[in-house]
Amino acid sequence: MKIIMLGAPGAGKGTQAKLIAEKYGLPHVSTGDIFRANIKNGTELGKEAKKYMDAGALVPDELTVKILLDRVAQKDCEGGYVLDGFPRTIPQAQVLEDALAKLGESIDYAINVEVPDEAIVNRMSGRRACVSCGATYHIVNIPPKKEGICDVCGSELILRDDDKPETVRKRLEVYHEQTQPLVDFYQNKGVLREVDGTKTMEEIFDSIAKILG
């Protein structure tokens, strides 16, 4: 089962992707995680990706497509996967579709987690990330036991540049311009399913589980 998660930055699609991966035994393939790993390790790809991410812009297609196709070609993806953060543009979606078609495969579901923009701005500005281990929190929904300190390793928690309100609004503008058309793209393919992302995490997952069966 090959699943794509759609939704604006901060809609909660990453959380749902992890839950789907756990329930159905599929790899959770997150371009964000791949980029962050490269950034943390100081690779050339990481340095280049960081420039775009810090500015609230999308990482260019050629960087993203190459790393993604290499990942889904690995053995653990033979039975399917959950894509989180890719594709983000129509050209990316077409490259993915062409690559899968050569293998006689296609995407089974594109699940769109729908959340209004202002709710996303409020949600993301409450996020905090650990500077050392990368664990994430939310000051309202998932607060650390001690304010500003990571439960896992005791390091400082920060508001990442790409979670600041002004950056989030810019990312949402980019999303509506470049990524929103994917909803129509997968609607036309007959694989789009939509869920209400303003509900609780459990309610959203229940809706998705009913779709996937």
Catalytic (active-site) positions: 13, 88, 127, 160, 171
Q: Report which residue type is found at 169.
A: R
Buried-state track 120-139, b at ≥16 Cβ within 10 A, e below 16: bbebbbbbbbbeeeebebee
Q: How far is CA 195 from CA 87, 178, 204, in A?
A: 19, 21, 7
In this structure, are residues 97 and 72 in contact, taking their beta carbons and an 8 Å threshold? no
The residue among 91, 71, 89 whose CA lies nearest residue 2 is 71
User: What angle, 0 to 180 degrees and rounded to 10, lies between the N-to-C axes of helices 181-189 and 90-102?
Assistant: 30
Omega of the bond leading into 87 within 30 degrees of 0 (cis): yes
Dist CA 156 CA 122 (whole Å): 22
